[in-house]
Structure 1
Amino acid sequence: MNKNTSLNKPNSQAPWIENLFFNFRPLWLIFFLIMTVFLGSQAIKVQPEASFEKLIPLSHPYIENFMERQDDLQGLGNAVRIVVSVKDEDEDIFTADYMQRLQKVYDEVRFLPGVDQAAVRSLWDPAVRWTQVTEEGFEGGTVIPDTYDGSPASLEVLRENVLKSGQVGILIANNFRSTIVLAPLVEQVDGEPLDYQAFSHALEDIREQFSDENFDIKIIGFAKLVGDLIDGATQVAFFFLVALAITFVLLFLYSRCFKSSIIPLACSVVAVIWQLGLLKLMGYGLDPYSMLVPFLVFAIAVSHGVQVINATAIEASHGHDRITAARLAFRSLYVAGILALVSDAIGFTTLLFIDIQVIQELAIAAALGVAVIILTNLILLPLVMSYLGVGKTSVIRAERKRQEVSPVWHKLSFFTHAKVAPWSLLAAVLLGVAGIIGSANLQIGDLDEGAPELRPDSRYNLDNAYVTRNYATSADVLVVMVETPEQGCVAYEALEAVDRLEWQMRNLDGVQGSMSPAYVTKRVIAGFNEGNLKWEALSRNQFILNQAMSNLPAGMVNNRCDLLPVILYLEDHKADTLVRVTREVEAFAAENNSEHAQFLLAAGSAGIEAATNEEIARAQTFMLIFVYAVVASLVLITFRSWRAVVCIVAPLALTSILCQALMAQLGIGVKVATLPVIALGVGIGVDYGIYIYSRLRQYLREGENLQDAYYHTLRSTGKAVSFTGLTLAIGVGTWVFSPIKFQADMGILLTFMFLWNMVGALWLLPAFARYLLKDPSKA
Structure 2
Amino acid sequence: MSINKQQHTPAPFLERLIFNNRPAVILICTLISLFLFYQAAQVRPSTSFEKMIPLQHPYIKNMMDHRNDLSNLGNTVRIAVEAVDGDIFTKEYMETLRQINDEVFYIAGVDRSGMKSLWSPNVRWTEVTEEGFDGGEVIPQTYDGSAESLEELRNNVLKSGQVGRLVGNNFKSSIIDVPLLESYPDPQDQSRLIKLDYQQFSHELEEKIREKYQAQNPNVKVHIIGFAKKVGDLIDGLIGVVMFFGVAIAITFVLLLWFTHCFKSTLAVVCTTLIAVVWQLGMLNVLGFGLDPYSMLVPFLVFAIGISHGVQKINGIAMASGDAPDALTAARRAFRQLFIPGMVALLSDAVGFITLLLIDIGVIRELAIAASVGVAVIILTNLILLPVTISYIGISQKAVRISREEASKNHPFWRLISNFAHPLVAPISVVVALAALGGGIWYGQNLKIGDLDQGAPELHPDSRYNLDNDFVIRNYSTSSDVLVIMAKTAPEGCSSYKTLSAMDQLMWQMENTEGVQSAVSMVSVSKQVIKGMNEGNLKWETLSRNQDVLNNSIARAEGLYNGNCSLAPVLVFLNDHKAETLERTVAVAKQFAEEHNEDGLEFLLAAGNAGIEAATNEVIASSETTMLIAVYAAVVIMCLLTFRSLAATLCVILPLVLTSVLGNALMAYMGIGVKVATLPVIALGVGIGVDYGIYIYSRMETYLRQGMALQDAYYETLKSTGKAVLFTGVCLAIGVATWIFSAIKFQGDMGLMLTFMFLWNMFGAIWLLPALARFLIKPEKLRQA
TM-score range, shorter chain: over 0.9
1:202 to 194, 199, 204: 204
> Are 1:120 and 2:110 matched, yes or no?
no
Structure-2 change in CA distance of 1:43 and 1:110 (3 Å)? same
How far 1:344 moved relative to its partner? 1.3
The CA distance in 1 between the partners of 2:33 and 2:40, in whole Å, is: 10
Instruction: Report matched runs for 1:99-114 at 5 Å.
Output: 99-114=94-109
The CA distance in 2 between the partners of 1:561 and 1:695, in whole Å, is: 72
Kindly provide the amino acid, as one letter, of the partner of residue 301 in structure 2.
L
Contact 1:242 1:731 in 2 (8 A): no
> Are 1:256 and 2:261 matched, yes or no?
yes
Kindly provide the amino acid, as one letter, of the partner of residue 720 in structure 1.
A
Aligned partner of 2:18 in structure 1 is: 21
Instruction: Report matched runs for 1:632-711 at 5 Å.
Output: 632-711=636-715
Kindly provide the amino acid, as one letter, of the partner of residue 110 in structure 2.
V
How far 1:4 moved relative to its partner? 4.3
The CA distance in 2 between the partners of 1:317 and 1:177, in whole Å, is: 78
Residues 51-77 of structure 1: CA deviation (Å, up to 9, x unaligned): 000000000000000001111111111
Residues 477-523 of structure 1: CA deviation (Å, up to 9, x unaligned): 11000111110011100000000000111111100111011121111
The CA distance in 2 between the partners of 1:134 and 1:596, in whole Å, is: 38
The CA distance in 2 between the partners of 1:58 and 1:23, in whole Å, is: 51
Kindly provide the amino acid, as one letter, of the partner of residue 200 in structure 2.
A
Over aligned residues, Cα RMSD in angstroms? 1.2
Between 1:660-669 and 1:703-712, the stretch displaced more is 703-712
Contact 2:262 2:395 in 1 (8 A): yes
Aligned partner of 1:178 in structure 2 is: 173
Contact 2:274 2:303 in 1 (8 A): yes
2:47 to 45, 50, 61: 50
Aligned partner of 1:372 in structure 2 is: 377
DSSP 3-state at the match of 2:728:
helix
Structure-2 change in CA distance of 1:428 and 1:368 (3 Å)? same
Aligned residues: 773
The CA distance in 1 between the partners of 2:158 and 2:712, in whole Å, is: 85
Residues 571-599 of structure 1: CA deviation (Å, up to 9, x unaligned): 00001000000000001111111224211
The CA distance in 1 between the partners of 2:101 and 2:763, in whole Å, is: 58
DSSP 3-state at the match of 1:145:
coil
2:461 to 456, 459, 476: 456
DSSP 3-state at the match of 2:139:
coil
> Are 1:328 and 2:333 matched, yes or no?
yes
Contact 1:506 1:513 in 2 (8 A): yes
Residues 22-46 of structure 1: CA deviation (Å, up to 9, x unaligned): 0000111111111111101100110
Structure-2 change in CA distance of 1:263 and 1:446 (3 Å)? same
Between 1:163-172 and 1:250-259, the stretch displaced more is 250-259
Contact 2:303 2:735 in 1 (8 A): no
The CA distance in 2 between the partners of 1:251 and 1:695, in whole Å, is: 22
2:502 to 497, 507, 512: 497
How far 1:319 moved relative to its partner? 4.5
Aligned partner of 2:2 in structure 1 is: 3
Kindly provide the amino acid, as one letter, of the partner of residue 194 in structure 2.
E
Aligned partner of 2:56 in structure 1 is: 59
Aligned partner of 1:734 in structure 2 is: 738
Aligned partner of 1:82 in structure 2 is: 79
Contact 1:447 1:667 in 2 (8 A): yes
How far 1:6 moved relative to its partner? 4.2
Contact 2:494 2:567 in 1 (8 A): yes
Ranges in structure 2 where 5+ consecutive residues have no aligned partner = 186-192
Instruction: Report matched runs for 1:515-534 at 5 Å.
Output: 515-534=520-539
Instruction: Report matched runs for 1:254-293 at 5 Å.
Output: 254-293=259-298
TM-score (norm 2): 0.97
Contact 2:307 2:731 in 1 (8 A): no
Residues 635-685 of structure 1: CA deviation (Å, up to 9, x unaligned): 111211111210111111111111011001000000000000111111110
Structure-2 change in CA distance of 1:731 and 1:342 (3 Å)? closer
Residues 268-326 of structure 1: CA deviation (Å, up to 9, x unaligned): 10110111111110101110011000110110011100000000111112344100110
The CA distance in 2 between the partners of 1:499 and 1:84, in whole Å, is: 34
Aligned partner of 1:240 in structure 2 is: 245
How far 1:260 moved relative to its partner? 2.3
How far 1:703 moved relative to its partner? 1.5
Between 1:759-768 and 1:375-384, the stretch displaced more is 759-768
DSSP 3-state at the match of 1:625:
helix
The CA distance in 2 between the partners of 1:699 and 1:35, in whole Å, is: 40
Q: Percent identity, aligned pairs only? A: 58
Between 1:342-351 and 1:292-301, the stretch displaced more is 342-351
Contact 2:313 2:335 in 1 (8 A): yes
The CA distance in 1 between the partners of 2:323 and 2:430, in whole Å, is: 37
Contact 1:497 1:597 in 2 (8 A): no
The CA distance in 2 between the partners of 1:667 and 1:346, in whole Å, is: 28
The CA distance in 1 between the partners of 2:87 and 2:404, in whole Å, is: 80
Ranges in structure 1 where 5+ consecutive residues have no aligned partner = none
The CA distance in 2 between the partners of 1:551 and 1:325, in whole Å, is: 84
The CA distance in 2 between the partners of 1:748 and 1:69, in whole Å, is: 41
Kindly provide the amino acid, as one letter, of the partner of residue 687 in structure 1.
D
DSSP 3-state at the match of 2:178:
strand
The CA distance in 1 between the partners of 2:326 and 2:448, in whole Å, is: 57
How far 1:706 moved relative to its partner? 0.9
Aligned partner of 2:189 in structure 1 is: none
The CA distance in 1 between the partners of 2:452 and 2:51, in whole Å, is: 22
How far 1:772 moved relative to its partner? 1.4
The CA distance in 1 between the partners of 2:184 and 2:276, in whole Å, is: 35
Aligned partner of 1:192 in structure 2 is: 194
The CA distance in 1 between the partners of 2:246 and 2:523, in whole Å, is: 59
Contact 1:272 1:369 in 2 (8 A): yes
The CA distance in 2 between the partners of 1:609 and 1:709, in whole Å, is: 53
Contact 2:526 2:543 in 1 (8 A): yes
Kindly provide the amino acid, as one letter, of the partner of residue 139 in structure 2.
I
The CA distance in 2 between the partners of 1:388 and 1:708, in whole Å, is: 35
1:578 to 571, 578, 582: 582
DSSP 3-state at the match of 2:445:
helix
1:93 to 71, 75, 88: 88
Kindly provide the amino acid, as one letter, of the partner of residue 210 in structure 2.
R
> Are 1:166 and 2:161 matched, yes or no?
yes
Between 1:315-324 and 1:245-254, the stretch displaced more is 315-324
Aligned partner of 1:34 in structure 2 is: 31
Kindly provide the amino acid, as one letter, of the partner of residue 162 in structure 2.
Q
Kindly provide the amino acid, as one letter, of the partner of residue 564 in structure 1.
A
Kindly provide the amino acid, as one letter, of the partner of residue 101 in structure 1.
T
Kindly provide the amino acid, as one letter, of the partner of residue 86 in structure 1.
A
The CA distance in 2 between the partners of 1:333 and 1:119, in whole Å, is: 62
Contact 2:301 2:735 in 1 (8 A): no
1:312 to 312, 317, 334: 317
TM-score (norm 1): 0.98
Contact 1:705 1:775 in 2 (8 A): yes
Aligned partner of 1:394 in structure 2 is: 399
The CA distance in 1 between the partners of 2:628 and 2:664, in whole Å, is: 12
2:144 to 122, 146, 149: 149
The CA distance in 2 between the partners of 1:259 and 1:771, in whole Å, is: 43
The CA distance in 1 between the partners of 2:624 and 2:656, in whole Å, is: 17
The CA distance in 2 between the partners of 1:646 and 1:666, in whole Å, is: 30
The CA distance in 1 between the partners of 2:542 and 2:234, in whole Å, is: 47
